[in-house]
Amino acid sequence: MIRPEDLLHPTPAGLYCPPGDFYVDPVRPVDRAVVTHGHSDHARAGHGAVLATPQTLAIMAERYGEEFTGRRQAAAYGEATSINGVDIRLHPAGHVLGSAQAEVRWQGLTIVVSGDYKRRRDPTCAGFEPVPCHVFISEATFGLPVFRHPPAEAEVGRLVKSLGQFPKRAHLVGAYALGKAQRIIAHLREAGWERPIYVHGALERLNALYEREGVALGPILPTRDLPKGSLGGEVAIAPPSAIQDRWARRFAEPVAAFASGWMGVRARARQKGVELPLVVSDHADWDELTATFREVAPEEIWITHGREEGLCRWAELHGMKARALRLVGYDEEDDESLEVRPD
């Protein structure tokens, strides 16, 4: 049987498949790429050809322009395709809209590249599906036992409670433009918040894309041109950097909130001046990561980026073979919009 390294191995450009002559989530332009999702540390412009889900291709076109690649190849979840004799299927990763795990199979060997993923329910994207494989390649953004995230619904409930307690103050929520912002909006709707939700201009295009893809967000209004001192008792969503900017000071006694898995670290919340930290992450926490390893039960686990040492040690203690790939070029949290313009 072939070695896993013969099918996929790390290179400076990213994970490379020699028999298929393609890369998975390459960090620089290549001739052929398989892209797991639309965040800019995984999805870059300039590749000769890109294989991804239809939603990820739409996100890339929205962010980079229609000419972001020489050729697009759309693959729906579970659809069988191949590149130079290497079989590929994409499966839901539960990270953001269109996010996928890439199942790569050749000569009886199966490797699954998870990309970024989570196991929590998300009303804006398809949930993670475990895929049997010989090698599971996982992220480790929150790969330490200290990272155990509360339910997102409970965190958004805290936001709604604060709105009731401080009805004259604007609640400004910092959330990454792709995935997190739309998830917070969807959870607010589920919590019974029926009033319009205001958004920074940097979020408008991706919100519209989610709506076109069938994700209902309810009434959304722009924050531009609102008078000074407005939005008392209302919610506005913006890129995290805008919460610390002059943009935020336009509104009525703003409550600065930030939705991120890192808000579980109190020092980070204080450092960013966050009054209402919301521990909501689109990455798997420690329990989700280890539960996934047990469920998938691969022969080997490869860790791409994040807290690799903690997960490798856990795998060793539980009789699993693991190694850290230490890939570079991937962010520890998800990107903001490509450029945050004044709103």
- Quick: pLDDT tens for 66-92: 999 999 999 999 999 999 999 999 999
Q: Report the side by side order of strands in the sheet with 47-52.
A: 9-11, 14-17, 22-24, 32-34, 47-52, 69-74
Question: Which pLDDT value is given to residue 332?
Answer: 56
In the chain, the percentage of residues whose pLDDT exceeds 90 is: 87
- Quick: pLDDT tens for 254-279: 999 999 999 998 888 888 889 999 99
Alpha carbons 275 and 269: distance in angstroms, whole number: 8
Task: Out of 3.30.70, 3.40.720, 3.40.50, 3.90.220, select the CATH number for domain 152-278.
Answer: 3.40.50
Q: Is it the case that residue 197 has pLDDT exceeding 60?
A: yes
CA proximity to 44, closest of 58, 63, 71: 63
CA proximity to 244, closest of 218, 273, 275, 209: 273
- Quick: pLDDT tens for 132-155: 999 999 999 999 999 999 999 999
What contacts 23, CB < 8 A, 6 or more positions away?
11, 13, 14, 15, 16, 17, 30, 32, 33, 34
The CATH 3.60.15.10 domain(s) of the chain lie at: 4-146+283-324
pTM for the model stands at 0.94
Q: What CATH number belongs to 4-146+283-324?
A: 3.60.15.10
The CATH 3.40.50 domain(s) of the chain lie at: 152-278
